[in-house]
Amino acid sequence: MTTPAISRYPVPALEDLPDDVRARILAVQEKAGFVPNVFLALAHRPEEFRAFFAYHDALMEKEGGLTKAEREMIVVATSGANDCLYCIVAHGAILRIYAKNPLLADQVAVNHREADIPSRQQAMLAFALKVALRSAEIVDEDFAALRAHGFSDEDIWDIGAIAAFFALSNRMANMIGMRPNDEFYLLGRVPRNR
Amino acid sequence: MTTPAISRYPVPALEDLPDDVRARILAVQEKAGFVPNVFLALAHRPEEFRAFFAYHDALMEKEGGLTKAEREMIVVATSGANDCLYCIVAHGAILRIYAKNPLLADQVAVNHREADIPSRQQAMLAFALKVALRSAEIVDEDFAALRAHGFSDEDIWDIGAIAAFFALSNRMANMIGMRPNDEFYLLGRVPRNR
Amino acid sequence: MTTPAISRYPVPALEDLPDDVRARILAVQEKAGFVPNVFLALAHRPEEFRAFFAYHDALMEKEGGLTKAEREMIVVATSGANDCLYCIVAHGAILRIYAKNPLLADQVAVNHREADIPSRQQAMLAFALKVALRSAEIVDEDFAALRAHGFSDEDIWDIGAIAAFFALSNRMANMIGMRPNDEFYLLGRVPRNR
Amino acid sequence: MTTPAISRYPVPALEDLPDDVRARILAVQEKAGFVPNVFLALAHRPEEFRAFFAYHDALMEKEGGLTKAEREMIVVATSGANDCLYCIVAHGAILRIYAKNPLLADQVAVNHREADIPSRQQAMLAFALKVALRSAEIVDEDFAALRAHGFSDEDIWDIGAIAAFFALSNRMANMIGMRPNDEFYLLGRVPRNR
Amino acid sequence: MTTPAISRYPVPALEDLPDDVRARILAVQEKAGFVPNVFLALAHRPEEFRAFFAYHDALMEKEGGLTKAEREMIVVATSGANDCLYCIVAHGAILRIYAKNPLLADQVAVNHREADIPSRQQAMLAFALKVALRSAEIVDEDFAALRAHGFSDEDIWDIGAIAAFFALSNRMANMIGMRPNDEFYLLGRVPRNR
Amino acid sequence: MTTPAISRYPVPALEDLPDDVRARILAVQEKAGFVPNVFLALAHRPEEFRAFFAYHDALMEKEGGLTKAEREMIVVATSGANDCLYCIVAHGAILRIYAKNPLLADQVAVNHREADIPSRQQAMLAFALKVALRSAEIVDEDFAALRAHGFSDEDIWDIGAIAAFFALSNRMANMIGMRPNDEFYLLGRVPRNR
């Protein structure tokens, strides 16, 4: 049996990559124990790779009112709405780890209304899904609803911007047929993985 | 009458911005004669500003098989599908200028099937709209259809990546209520503006 | 370069038309300075032409609670929802002229929620779009909402009837590939055109 | 029990109507044995009444390649797609009578694919439904498909124009809550009614 | 003219059926005067036949807070939403008989908002249609809305379960092209049929 | 922390259930090591419970041209389309075990086009999803397409009937808020679970 392709496009060898791109990939490999395929698939275009991960980091690794688990919940919920296999599987793993909850990612990916989360996070995901699916219909009342749950305007930007960034990410992954690493499927599901 | 807000979020004063962000804004003002509101609205978050425009430039200003007018056609068509006022108006102006055609932007924004473009560009926009609206349904046959029109695989990445990037851009603009500059509405419509 | 066709169907010569149809066309040419293509394209069927413009005039040129600009806003918003290039471009021009506002037509065609209009007109357009897109869901509460904004029941009939008439008009234009006159794109955008 | 209203709007008394409108209503009453509610409901606006029925007659009573039953099939199929109770019930009755078939109207209203009609009429209804539901997607290939079934271009105009006219009619009926006469439900279903 | 097929699949002869299946069919024939085609079409698979009608009877013939006419209204409304010709025609007939109302079935099949029913039954059908079309969006508030109309939780289960069972039934009928018996079209429409 | 409810409805104690229902539940507990919540939640209505599982067994445990893994693939794909958390999680586990593949269930639930399956199974799932989502559009050509992949007409009935049965199951689960057992999330993902 042959190894399935991880992209419809050629995947560069590490040694052929610009130094900064290779360094970023080696760093994530060091931390995670493997190289998530998004790094290899997007390295086909180093300029876009740099912008993609700079944007990602600006949204996902900043300080702010949202926890890391909440940020990943937004990713998983909107990727579910966009039917993006890579992002559901990869970010589902990260969500399980951050939330220390082996069930939450599948719940959020399928139907956040049935997830074990409080109404504040339900409102957060409802807004994220509106940005993902019907952004032209956003009105001031949507902001008011989130403020009533205690979100600041900067939190709301974060929620919407993460949904918007993964609108890009989901479409890239779907277009190039990006394949999730096998490792992600199990990560965070059993005690020794957490 | 008060000046309408250009964003639901505060717009920073130029003098309060990091040097690189301010420099970018002054450069575009120098070239265009005014500062497109997307620069001011996104400068609210300098880190995201930098990543956004790095990504934009990597896709829109690179060499490649697509002309600049074709890239803008993709922006306008997918922004039309997403009902994004800012991007339709601002990139419609740029498309008129690049294509030296005062009618094309409105045609492409409303219904590319009625635009004055050859079947090759019709196929390009059909693929871009599939990435924008139904990316999970993309299959190998979609690539074959574009190759039959003479597009290389790198051209196809460009088409899809531009559609994906503006999926992000449209959602950000809709979420924050980004207002197009009045100047854009007329640009490229009359000889002296071209 | 050949002149693009204005319809998938033959366009009659003026001298071959019945007197009343030709007279109507000459009258509009006298007033507008050119013959909007809808007159020529629909003259292919004189009986339908007469009924179409009689209906149009009954709705658009009557006295009543709606201003002429408001009537055109309904046309442009619902034509936007139906992706009708002819009606967006031609009635967009008329809206700019009636409203003495060069920006309003593009705003309303793309997303009325971002248009520079008061909440009364927002409610008017929301109802028009419901008639255009989901008329079977109209309930008494929709009438109550408009009455709360000061619309009379006769005004509401006007709003809904204009949306319904352009449901017809948009479908005819899309079916026969009706091409907007080049003149419309610029009308009302610059001072000398107003 | 009170008689249900036939419209959300006042229904004029016959004696208060303009002579031509009253004459038209009395003529249809003479022929049908009762006054279809559409005549009474639309008589609230005599100018629109005249244009509506002039348009209706131009499409439904003209000579041409489509039979009267085929014209009514288009009405019933597109009214089904628009969930218009009045038009399904009233024109369903007319279709049963013209086609001398007590089953056809319900079949066509629900799902033309399951109706007892040949492939030529299936193609006719598929085009009519495209005009009704997705007219912006009509392309030259749609015309070619109908020509392959033997339809002339004038037949195709008829098909599309009837679908477009009832896009208007369905929306008016839904907006004003037009109630079908009880008589229509049974007409054409039993031998003595045919 | 040949008799139209009642299914895309072979229809067994009565004498070839297992005794219990044949007995059930003869019993319904005795009662109704003819064999509804659903019995013959599903008898192609006796095991599934038994489960189907056991489920049907458990929902439709049980005691409970919903009347028999209300149960049939749920069937007709959701079958209308699913465009299922067999179920609309056959259960429309049953609804006319149970409700002793020759108009109600067509009203409910097309648009329950225009049916002659009180707000309690409007709420019942709105919930049934949500189960039929958007069940993942059901939330506790939907239950509260029905309780406010006096429905018990067991009634609500009945409403939802009937909608869910006919989601199955409609799909089977559509898949195999199940044809309604001609008799159903007229049943319950004229006094002697009631 | 309290145990989350497994249903919006009361869950009966085993000792209060009819003997046959309790026996079925104990048998599945014996085999699986735990009682899947669908058995407890549906036992609220023993008559419906019996019909539900009789139907389930008739489709899922019969002999025939489809493998057990293929049947579960149909369940998972259509449950994905219906956003049914219970069925995706529970039948995803069963699919992993039957297919001896820890990745397949997540692939099929999100986007079968990206699953590691041959074109024959792709065609099977495309038909199942058409039954699930657009059954009124099924035409003879859909059958021809499956026959071209070697499916018999009885196989096609199986595919469609499973999709139809889970249209019921998904709606029931969504309506009552059926919660998947925690055990299912991990089953079949690690060697010792297979």
For the residues E116-124, what does the mean pLDDT come to?
A: 97
Q: Which chain A residues have a beta carbon less than 8 Å from that of C113? A: 136-137, 139
Structure tokens that stand for B139 in this block: 């299959």
Structure tokens that stand for A155 in this block: 């939190």
Rounded Cα distance, B112 and B123, in Å? 10
Nearest by Cα to C42 from C188, C190, C169, C181: C169
pLDDT by residue (tens digit) across A106-165? 999 999 999 999 999 999 999 999 999 999 999 999 999 999 999 999 999 999 999 999
Percent of chain C with pLDDT over 90: 94
Task: Select the residue of E45, E51, E170 nearest F54 (Cβ to Cβ).
Answer: E51
For the residues D125-137, what does the mean pLDDT come to?
A: 98
ipTM above 0.90, yes or no: yes
Q: Establish whether chain B is in contact with chain D, requiring a minimum of 3 CB pairs below 8 angstroms.
A: yes
Q: Which chain A residues have a beta carbon less than 8 Å from that of B48? A: 55, 58-59, 161
CA distance E172 to chain F (A): 6
Q: Which chain D residues have a beta carbon less than 8 Å from that of E102? A: 182, 185-186
Closest residue, chain A, to F7 (C-alpha): A114
Q: Establish whether chain C is in contact with chain F, requiring a minimum of 3 CB pairs below 8 angstroms.
A: no
Q: Give every CB contact of residue E58 below 8 A, 6+ residues apart in sequence.
A: F45, F47, F48, F50, F51
Percent of chain B with pLDDT over 70: 97
Percent of chain E with pLDDT over 70: 97
For the residues B37-48, what does the mean pLDDT come to?
A: 98
Rounded Cα distance, B178 and C95, in Å? 23
Is it the case that residue C172 has pLDDT exceeding 90?
A: yes
pLDDT by residue (tens digit) across F69-80? 999 999 999 999
From chain D, which residues contact E within 8 Å (Cβ)?
Answer: 4, 80, 83-85, 88-89, 102-103, 106-107, 109-111, 114, 116, 174, 177, 179, 182, 185-186, 189-190
Neighbours of chain E (3+ CB pairs under 8 A): A, C, D, F
Please, which pLDDT band fits residue A78 given cuts at 50, 70 and 90? very high
CB F102 within 8 A of CB F73: no
Nearest by Cα to D180 from D34, D25, D38: D38
The helix/strand/coil state of F99 is: helix
Rounded Cα distance, C147 and E70, in Å? 34
Contact B175 A165 (CB under 8 A): no
**For chain E, what is the mean pLDDT?**
96
For the residues F10-39, what does the mean pLDDT come to?
A: 97
For the residues F62-91, what does the mean pLDDT come to?
A: 96
Tell me which amino acid residue F23 is. Answer: A
Is it the case that residue D1 has pLDDT exceeding 90?
A: no
CB B84 within 8 A of CB B174: yes
CB C102 within 8 A of CB C96: yes
Please, which pLDDT band fits residue C192 given cuts at 50, 70 and 90? low
Q: Tokens 């419509």 map to which residue? A: B189
CA distance E14 to chain D (A): 26
Mutation target for D interface from E106, E122, E183: give the one with most D CBs within 10 A: E106
**For chain D, what is the mean pLDDT?**
96
Closest residue, chain E, to A126 (C-alpha): E137
Alpha-carbon dihedral angle through residues D193, E4, E6, E12, given to the nearest 10 degrees? 130
Q: Establish whether chain A is in contact with chain E, requiring a minimum of 3 CB pairs below 8 angstroms.
A: yes
For the four alpha carbons of D69, D71, D75 and D77, in that order, the dihedral sign comes to: positive
Q: Residue B71: what pLDDT? A: 98
Structure tokens that stand for D99 in this block: 């086609």
Is it the case that residue C1 has pLDDT exceeding 70?
A: no
Please, which pLDDT band fits residue B192 given cuts at 50, 70 and 90? low
Contact C84 B110 (CB under 8 A): yes
Is it the case that residue D176 has pLDDT exceeding 90?
A: yes
Structure tokens that stand for A126 in this block: 């409802």
CA distance E113 to chain C (A): 7
Q: Residue A149: what pLDDT? A: 98
Q: Whole-model pTM above 0.90?
A: yes
Which value, in Å, is the radius of gyration of the alpha carbons in chain E? Answer: 17
Contact A185 F103 (CB under 8 A): yes
CA distance C76 to chain E (A): 29
Rounded Cα distance, E171 and F166, in Å? 11
CA F70 to chain centre: 11
Q: Where are the alpha helices (DSSP H) in A61-152?
A: 68-81, 85-99, 104-110, 119-134, 140-148
Q: Tokens 């009509």 map to which residue? A: D138
Is it the case that residue E29 has pLDDT exceeding 50?
A: yes
From chain F, which residues contact A within 8 Å (Cβ)?
Answer: 4, 80, 83-85, 88-89, 102-103, 106-107, 109-111, 114, 116, 174, 177, 179, 182, 185-186, 189-190
Q: Residue D90: what pLDDT? A: 98
pLDDT by residue (tens digit) across E53-65? 999 999 999 888 9
What share of residues in chain F are helix, strand, coil (percent, to 5)?
70, 0, 30
CA distance D132 to chain E (A): 17
Please, which pLDDT band fits residue F19 given cuts at 50, 70 and 90? very high
Rounded Cα distance, E25 and E89, in Å? 19
Structure tokens that stand for B60 in this block: 């829109």
Q: Which chain E residues have a beta carbon less than 8 Å from that of C137? A: 113
Closest residue, chain A, to E134 (C-alpha): A111
Nearest by Cα to B108 from C85, F177, A151: C85
Q: Which burial class, exposed, middle or buried, applies to B89 when counting CB atoms under 10 A from its CB (0-12, 13-18, 19+)?
A: buried
Nearest by Cα to B128 from B107, B109, B114: B109
Rounded Cα distance, E13 and C47, in Å? 58
Q: Which chain E residues have a beta carbon less than 8 Å from that of C139? A: 113
Task: Provide the angle, in degrees to the nearest 10, between the axes of the packed helices B153-176 and B140-147.
Answer: 110
Rounded Cα distance, C62 and C55, in Å? 11
Is it the case that residue F150 has pLDDT exceeding 90?
A: yes
Q: Which chain E residues have a beta carbon less than 8 Å from that of F88? A: none
Q: Which chain D residues have a beta carbon less than 8 Å from that of C84? A: 135-136
Mutation target for F interface from E57, E168, E169: give the one with most F CBs within 10 A: E168
Contact F106 A85 (CB under 8 A): yes
Phi-psi region of D64 (alpha: psi -120 to 50; beta: other; left: phi over 0): left
CB E148 within 8 A of CB E94: no
Structure tokens that stand for B132 in this block: 């924008």
Structure tokens that stand for B156 in this block: 């196809």
Q: Which burial class, exposed, middle or buried, applies to E150 when counting CB atoms under 10 A from its CB (0-12, 13-18, 19+)?
A: exposed
Q: Residue E62: what pLDDT? A: 86
CA distance C189 to chain B (A): 7
For the residues F123-130, what does the mean pLDDT come to?
A: 98
Q: Tokens 């794109």 map to which residue? A: C185
Q: Where are the alpha helices (DSSP H) in B13-152?
A: 19-32, 37-42, 46-60, 68-81, 85-99, 104-110, 119-134, 140-147
Rounded Cα distance, A6 and A37, in Å? 7
Neighbours of chain D (3+ CB pairs under 8 A): B, C, E, F
pLDDT by residue (tens digit) across E73-113? 999 999 999 999 999 999 999 999 999 999 999 999 999 99
Q: Tokens 């003529």 map to which residue? A: D27
pLDDT by residue (tens digit) across A149-181? 999 999 999 999 999 999 999 999 999 999 999
From chain D, which residues contact C within 8 Å (Cβ)?
Answer: 8-9, 44-45, 47-48, 50-52, 54-55, 58-59, 62, 82-84, 131-132, 135-136, 138, 140, 143, 153, 157, 160-161, 163-165, 167-172, 174-177
Contact A160 B172 (CB under 8 A): yes
Q: How many CB atoms lie within 10 A of CB E144?
A: 9
Please, which pLDDT band fits residue E7 given cuts at 50, 70 and 90? very high
CA distance E142 to chain D (A): 24
Structure tokens that stand for C130 in this block: 């419901």
Q: Tokens 């219990």 map to which residue? A: E20
Neighbours of chain C (3+ CB pairs under 8 A): A, B, D, E
Q: Residue F193: what pLDDT? A: 45
Contact D110 E177 (CB under 8 A): no
Phi-psi region of C63 (alpha: psi -120 to 50; beta: other; left: phi over 0): beta
Q: Residue F64: what pLDDT? A: 86
Is it the case that residue D164 has pLDDT exceeding 50?
A: yes
Rounded Cα distance, D30 and D48, in Å? 23
CA distance F114 to chain B (A): 9
For the residues E8-12, what does the mean pLDDT come to?
A: 97
Q: Residue F106: what pLDDT? A: 98
For the residues A18-36, what does the mean pLDDT come to?
A: 97
For the residues A28-32, what does the mean pLDDT come to?
A: 96
From chain D, which residues contact F within 8 Å (Cβ)?
Answer: 111, 113
Closest residue, chain A, to B49 (C-alpha): A55
CB D59 within 8 A of CB C48: yes
Closest residue, chain C, to B179 (C-alpha): C114
Nearest by Cα to A127 from A145, A108, A153, A148: A145
For the residues F169-180, what does the mean pLDDT come to?
A: 98
DSSP secondary structure of E88-117: HHHHHHHHHHHHT-SSHHHHHHH-GGGSS-
Closest residue, chain B, to A132 (C-alpha): B171
Structure tokens that stand for D144 in this block: 């070619």
Is it the case that residue F16 has pLDDT exceeding 60?
A: yes
Rounded Cα distance, C44 and C39, in Å? 9
Going by the DSSP 8-state scheme, the letter that residue B16 receives in this structure is G
Rounded Cα distance, E139 and E123, in Å? 15
Please, which pLDDT band fits residue D194 given cuts at 50, 70 and 90? very low
Contact B102 C177 (CB under 8 A): no
Q: Residue B194: what pLDDT? A: 41
CB D169 within 8 A of CB D78: no
pLDDT by residue (tens digit) across E143-175? 999 999 999 999 999 999 999 999 999 999 999
Q: Residue A194: what pLDDT? A: 41
Q: Residue A64: what pLDDT? A: 86
Nearest by Cα to C128 from C58, C72, C86: C72
Contact A103 F186 (CB under 8 A): no
Neighbours of chain A (3+ CB pairs under 8 A): B, C, E, F
Q: Which chain F residues have a beta carbon less than 8 Å from that of E55? A: 48, 51-52, 55
DSSP secondary structure of E44-99: TSHHHHHHHHHHHHHHHSS-SSS-HHHHHHHHHHHHHHTT-HHHHHHHHHHHHHHH
